[in-house]
Amino acid sequence: MKQAVGLLEVFGCVAAFVAADAACKAGNVTIEALDKNKPANADALPVPLVMCVKIRGSISDVEAAMEAAARAANNLTGVVTKHIIAAPDENTEKMLKISAL
């Protein structure tokens, strides 16, 4: 059975680690990867680095993990965006392994 994936973009590296920790404690999930992005408007952002936490597990575990992770990140610097893909396509699976870290 395919695993769902949760994508959570947050401001800053510390928020990404705190969100990943909260996600793992909230559901039976694993962290696929952490990725970074410095957007063109980085100087105008609260923190000039956007991090993406890629969370894997069953759809119900990913949903619970994403909620906990978003709460944790919002307590620090904030969430840029979040999305859950219930059954990623095989080409999407390849992209999930990419990390700029």
State pLDDT tens for residues 64-74: 999 999 999 99
Q: What's residue 58's pLDDT?
A: 97
38-44 average pLDDT score: 76
Domain boundaries, the chain: 4-82
CATH of domain 4-82: 3.30.70.1710
Rounded-to-integer distance, Cα 95 and Cα 47, Å: 25
Tokens for 14?
């510390």
The yes-or-no verdict on residue 34 having pLDDT over 80 is yes
pLDDT at 37 (0 to 100): 84
> Distance from CA of residue 21 to its chain's centroid?
11
**CB of 35 closer than 8 Å to CB of 54:** yes
pLDDT value for 56: 96
Task: Locate 13 and state its tokens.
Answer: 């590296």
- Whole-number pLDDT of residue 1: 63
Amino acid (1-letter code) at residue 6: G
Check residue 96 and give its pLDDT: 86
